[in-house]
Structure 1
Amino acid sequence: MDKNTAIPIFESLASSVRLDIFRLLVRASPEGCVAGQIASELHLPPTNLSFHLKAMTQAGLLTVEQEGRYMRYRADIALMYGLVEYLTAECCTGLSAASVDDAEGCVP
């Protein structure tokens, strides 16, 4: 992953509604949820939800599959792992072994 890929993901997740949607779909992984289920669980009006799902799909955070009349949404877990890897790729770079051991949350 590179910065140009990461930026739209961060922009999309900067919305509290979208973050809630993504976290719900991570919990529902790998089955995902249909739009009505997402709306019901998060108490969102369908038109509002549709707007957010479209933006998240365009950012690559979600995949969508038609099931008859319904659309099933799934969190792209591989993309999220790639984002975490991108964020932590340079963790503790330049620190001595002793400093790494003392650094909170740093993974050598």
Structure 2
Amino acid sequence: MPEQGETVVYRSEDWPSVAGTSQLKAIQLWLRANSIDPKNVPITTDLTVTTEPDGQRTIHYEQFVLTSDGHRQVAPDHSNDAWTEAATTLCVAEPPAALRSST
């Protein structure tokens, strides 16, 4: 359930029902519209849009940590996993209505 002022765009547990669908394409287009490369966002991350106290809308997600030449880094404590980090960016393009779940 979304928190007050939060819009859920994607939950990682939805991946099986999203993979290969028009919903996935809509998510990818929305990410690109907000200058986020979908290839750098793992399917295991939630995508949420939050209204900050100042009214600014921000996107919260995780992204892969990349090397200087653009390759995914290995997680320091899990050699079989890619390293990810929390990321936040301004929401300049709101998610399409079909993707939204909000309070």
Computing the radius of gyration from Cα coordinates, the structure with the larger value is: 1
TM-score by structure 1 length?
0.27
Richer in helix (by share)? 1
Give the number of the structure with larger relative contact order, counting CA–CA contacts within 8 Å between residues 6 or more apart: 2
Richer in strand (by share)? 2
TM-score by structure 2 length?
0.28
